[in-house]
Every structure is written in structure tokens, then in C-alpha cells.
Amino acid sequence: MNHDELVRRLKEEDPVRLRWLHDEGDRVRREHVGDEVYLRGLLELSNYCVRRCGYCGINAGNSELRRYRMTHEEIRAGARLAKELGYGTVVMQAGEDFGLTREFICEAIRIVKGETGGAVTLSLGERNEDELLAWHEAGADRYLMRFETSNRPLYDRIHPPLRGERSDRQALLIKLREMGYEVGSGFLVGIPGQTYDDLARDLELLKELDLDMVGIGPYIMHPRTALAETAARFHREAGAQQVPNTSEFSLTTLALVRLLLPDTNIPSTTALSTIDSHGREHGLSCGANVIMPNLTPPEYRELYEIYPGKSCLQEAKDFHLQLELMIAGLGRSLGKGPGHSPRFRKRAGV
Ligand code: SAH
């Protein structure tokens, strides 16, 4: 698909053709990554953050938010829960928190590896190369970091530089790959000021970065962010070219991701299920093959409020039972083991 064709597909409104595209995402998913749905246990380690991202509710400027950082013992308990529920991967995510030191994370990785024997994914933002290398050496397998948008001026507007240093997530993603990580990225859908042209470019960039994992989800406005104040103006500026942040449009984008990168792992994201009560199923039916159930201790979950209404405040074991039923209802099965992407397996020979 060339750029114009991507734009045309993104602008599609005909319900029959949209349905076809969603089904096509599902078909390509089945053909390339099969019917297994992999579950990744998510631990939100800390909501401290030095950044002031215009979209994110835990940005440093949100002084109303009570901050927390999990202890090693809490991480160990989370890893045990992941093991008990049969999850082959634990994902440790956080704000950009330098209180999560290199050593603290090395030890956290060793704890999770020791408890689960499974894969460890990190999503800790833009950290320096020494840290990223040390964490890979300590056993971390994967790193997730979305580039958020491929439009540089839009990116600068919503993701301001830190200490005057230009943020270059795309360059960092390439470095992560060179270090041996299985690498994931992705973008937000429906950022105020984001156009169809931008989104087509976002899709192309996924392909250029040759990713192993791709996470995308609708932008959800958080009242205590810079974007909440400027959204109306940016929408006006983009006019008819503004892309929506709806569930339907996110699913169309997801199906296109699957068509472009057939053998990557693609989660059905929590953001999608936040704006659509059946978002998880819908995502799994348009090309997704991964779900990331939240295993963060209940007392911290509502504090990791990157957007309002994050639909994951349910107890982990109850949620797991519900997921099992949902997955069986779709005629799919639970993935076993770490669930590396076929793309990564080919590259790394595992
Ligand atoms: N500090 C890490 C983890 C951020 S949270 C990092 O920056 O990589 C993970 C993802 O949540 C972000 O990459 C972003 O795409 C998404 N996110 C943040 N705020 C959001 C919002 N308001 N609506 C939807 N998704 C959001």
C-alpha cells in the first residue's frame, strides 16, 4: 500500500468496505500469528515522571496527583501472580522516573525472571544507553516505547524536550534493536492536530522501523494536561483533515497495522477498551493477538492515571476468568510461553 492508498483507506466511510478491512486484519492475523492470544502481566512500577507530555495525566506538572513507586517486594508479589495466572511475560511500565535507578531495575528484572522464568518487557521511557544496556544484560528481553506521532512539529508540541535536549525516540528505538531487545513502538490515534496524512505516515514509519510489537490506541483527553487546554484550537487548525479518536477509527487503523506488519505482536489496548466496552474483543477481531492484564497492586492503579477512566480497576483473578471466557468465545486459545513475535524469532533464531 502506498501513501495515497493508506490515506484513502483511513478515510473510508463505506460500512461494507470498512467491515471488509476489519475482517482482512483478522484473516491476516490468523494466517501469520495464529489463534493464540498472549497475555502479558502489566506492573505499573511508578507514576513519578520528569516529563511534561501534553497528552499524559501523570506528567510532572500534575501537582494534584499523589505519587508512588513500587518496592521490590511488591514487584515480587506481582511476578508471582503472573506466574500463578500462567502469563509468560511481565511488562514493567512507569513514568520517566530516575528514582527507578539502573540498579533498582536490574534487581527488579532478576526478581521477575527468578519468579516466573518468563520474558521481561520494559517500558520506562527515554533512558540513557548505559541503563538500557545494563537492563538487557540483567535479562530484560523487550522494550516498548511509542514514537506517539511521526509528525515532528506535532511531536515537539505534545512531547516537550527535557533539559533542552531534543527527544529522539526513533533513534533510540534503533539503538534498542542493536542492543538485542525485541522492540515495540506505536502511536496515538486522534491527537488534536493529527491529520490523515500524519497517520498514514505513522503507519509507514512502523514498517520502516521493522518492529516486533506495535501498540496503538485512541488518544483520551485528560483534564490535567496541556492538551486539554489547546485541543479545540488544534482541532480547528486541522479542520476536515483531523483524524477522529473513536473506537471505530482506532480499529480501522489497527487492521491496517496488521496488514502492513503481518508477523508482529499487536495488543488490543486498554485505551481502546476504555472508550468501547467491547474494545478488547473488537481489537482481537481486527488483527490484535495480545492483551496486557493489569497486575499492579489495587491501591496504586488509580494513581497511574495516564488518561481518565482507565478500565482496569478490576481484581486480577476476576479479570483473568473473564478474559478466558471472552477468548474462548471468540474461538481463540490462550498462548503459552513467552510469545515472542514470529518476526523476532526469525531475526534472533529462537
Ligand atoms: N513513560 C513511558 C510509558 C508511558 S505510558 C513512555 O513514555 O514510554 C504508555 C503509553 O500510554 C504512552 O506511550 C502513550 O502512547 C499512552 N498514553 C499516554 N497518555 C495517553 C492518553 N491521554 N490517551 C491515550 N493514551 C495515552
Question: Which atom of ligand 1 is least distant from the CA of 188?
Answer: 15
Share of the chain above pLDDT 90, in %: 95
Region 294-300: mean pLDDT is 95
> Which residue among 48, 55, 58 has the greatest number of ligand 1 atoms within 8 angstroms of its CB, and so is best to mutate?
55
What's the pTM value of the predicted model, to 2 decimals? 0.98
Which residue has the least CA distance to atom 19 on ligand 1? Answer: 56
**d(C-alpha 139, C-alpha 110), whole Å:** 7
Considering only CA atoms, which residue is closest to atom 24 of ligand 1? 219
Give the pLDDT score at 65: 96
pLDDT at 108: 98
Residue partners of 208: CB distance under 8 A and separation at least 6? none
Residue 196 near residue 238, CB atoms below 8 Å: no
306 C-alpha to ligand 1 centroid (Å): 6
CB 145 within 8 A of CB 182: no
Confidence of residue 312 (pLDDT cuts 50, 70, 90): low
Question: Looking at residues 197-225, what average pLDDT do you find?
Answer: 97
Contact partners, residue 151, CB within 8 Å, separation at least 6:
194, 195, 198, 201
Residue 311 pLDDT class (50, 70, 90 cuts): low
Q: Each residue of 231-285: pLDDT tens digit?
A: 999 999 999 999 999 999 999 999 999 999 999 999 999 999 999 999 999 999 9
pLDDT at residue 54 greater than cutoff 80: yes
Provide residues with CB under 6 Å of ligand 1.
Answer: 55-56, 93, 95-96, 123, 125, 145-146, 148, 188, 217, 219-220, 222, 271, 306-307
Residue % of the chain over a pLDDT of 70: 99
Q: Do the Cβ atoms of 28 and 262 come closer than 8 Å?
A: yes
